Every structure is written in structure tokens, then in C-alpha cells.
Amino acid sequence: MKFFRYGPKGAERPALLDANGIGRDLSSLIDDFSGAHLHPYRLRQLAEVDASRLPEVPDDARIGAVVPRVGNFIGIGLNFADHAAESGMEAPSEPILFNKAPSSLAGPNDVLELPAEAQKADWEVELAVVIGAPAYRITREEALAHVAGFTICNDISERAFQIERLGTWSKGKGLPGFGPLGPYLVTPDEVPDPQALKMWLTLNGETMQNGSTATMIFPVDELVSYCAQFMALEPGDVITTGTPPGVGMGMKPQRYLQAGDVMELGIEGLGTQRQICIARAD
């Protein structure tokens, strides 16, 4: 099943795609995709409703992030060996964790505002995992039972803040709008093998990234279990799992986002995103 949220920012409503690909409003059944409503059992219940009785979502509705809020927005660094190589870094021996600010969350097609001081903003198409059931100190075998579903994240990164400033990578990962998430929350039954998904990103129509989750160093189940050794994961938490090669930082010469650029990206079975970059007016 594919679930999503639609409407003005801050006033989104929950919805699903019916068997005919028509959006159906779920707000008569749940208030939003948070807490217990993200539990895999609850999502299975929602998938069984007679969607034909639910109101249709307007075709021109804005699509919001797949969750209304996120406590832990966890990024995994250098999780594709070929991306590590293009970054001039060794492949890690265990997952590298960093935080994206919860306030970086954005809709999949929202405009991306580039602050004047962000001179090296970069793109990263990534498979993201949304936690549906509390998870702490779980095994790899238990991990996927705690997953509500999968979605797309563009892990936008300001490389100067991330790499050239002191401290952690989080400085370059958490600007407002730097975490577009969606369009759909796709339940695990529709993603039989999360390690076999094609993923791509274009910039102004030119292919930048063309990869597959098959080349991830650490697979999804291992990442969920690993993160849960260091923190208690809660429903609505997000783990974004790394990117294939083709980012601007790895190009010669390097290439970064400018006002007027258009990013389009997608992952097999999970939908697509599109962001237009503009200069922030402040």
C-alpha cells in the first residue's frame, strides 16, 4: 500500500492510493501518520478499508512529507562504496551516523530555498526507512518488523558547512528544506527486496546519479538494528540510508546547486520528487 499526506504546509491530511491510483482522504479514520497509526498492524488495517467510500484527493494538491514530524532524522554516511571512492574517503568498517535537523523536513516537491551563505549545496538521492514500532537493541532478524515503510529522501547537503567547518557533519545537513521526504510511504509488502531498487537523480534534465540499493555496504535490516543499539527508535523516526555516486562534490570540476536549478529524482516503486532551487530572500 502507498500512503501519503497532502495539503498546505502544517495542515496536511493523511491519504492513500487506491487500487486505481486515485488518492483517497483518510482523515475520517486517523488524524495523521504518527504514533500508533504508523504501526505496521495499523497500516495493514487501513489498507483493508473500502477506499471507494473515501473522498478523493484533488489532483493539484500539494504533497507533504510522509510523516508530520520526526524525532530522530538519522543519516548514514558513505554507505555506497563507489560514492565513498568519489568522495576520496575509505569505505567505513561500520555505519557512520549523523543527524539531520527535524526542521529540515520538507515535502517532496517543495521549492528549495538556498541561503546566501550556502555556496556548496549538493544533492543525494537516498532510500529512507520510516520506523513504525518502537525499536531498541533489536537484532537484524527483528528489524524489518519495526519498519512502517520506505520512501525517498533527497539528503541535501551544504558541503562547506559539512566538511570545511569544525564539528560534525550535521552542520551541513539540517538547513530548512534540506530533507524532502516522500511522496509515498510504501509498506514493506510492496518492497520485497529493499536491496534491489534502482535509484536516479537528474539536474536540469541531465543524469547525475544512476545507481541501485544493491551496492549499499550496510543493508537496511543491519542499519535499523545498528541504530537501535545506540538509541531508542520511535514511530516516525527516519533513517536515510546513503547515496550512490554522482554527487556534485565528486565531480571534476565540482558542481553545486544554484538558483534556477531543477532536481528530479526517484527510486523504483517509490515514486519521484522534483525540487526547484531559489535564492532565499533574506
Peptide bond into 58 cis (omega under 30): no
Question: Any idea where the domains of the chain sit in the sequence?
Answer: 67-279
Cα separation of the two ends of the chain = 41
Contacts of 153 (CB under 8 A, 6+ apart): 126, 127, 128, 179, 180, 181, 238, 240
Give pLDDT < 50 ranges for the chain. Answer: none
Q: Which three cell numbers stand for residue 240?
A: 536515510
CA gap 219, 119 in Å, rounded: 32
Buried b (16+ CB within 10 A) or exposed e, 114-151: beeebebbbbbbbbbbbbbbebeebeeeebbebbbbbb
Output the pLDDT for position 167: 76
Q: Between the CA of residue 184 and those of 65, 142, 153, what are the distances in Å?
A: 8, 24, 11
Output the pLDDT for position 281: 80
CA gap 265, 243 in Å, rounded: 12
**Which secondary-structure segment (H or E) carries 185?**
strand 185-186
Q: Which CATH architecture has domain 67-279?
A: Alpha-Beta Complex (3.90)
Residue type present at position 103: S
pLDDT in tens, 79-106: 997 777 776 778 889 999 999 999 999 9
Output the pLDDT for position 168: 80
Instruction: Answer yes or no: are the C-beta atoms of 114 and 257 closer than 8 Å.
Output: yes
Output the pLDDT for position 249: 93
